[in-house]
Structure 1
């Protein structure tokens, strides 16, 4: 049981220590010209 806890702790530490930056999230919205000046996406 102790080895399982140590393995879980090691995995968590490796995930935290990897230092991978979070990806910036964005949404792509497609529209027609009829909504271009309507203020819908402002």
Structure 2
């Protein structure tokens, strides 16, 4: 039981790390899009 619990916890932390990384990447993409839009206007 303990090993299964550890494995599930590990996969959850891994998933959280990937989710956070993905969220940051998405935010960066949006920021660059906005910046490009501002540059195009000028």
Q: Which TM class, normalised by the smaller chain length?
A: 0.3 to 0.5
> Quick check: which has more Rg, 1 or 2?
1
The TM-score with structure 1 as length reference comes to 0.45
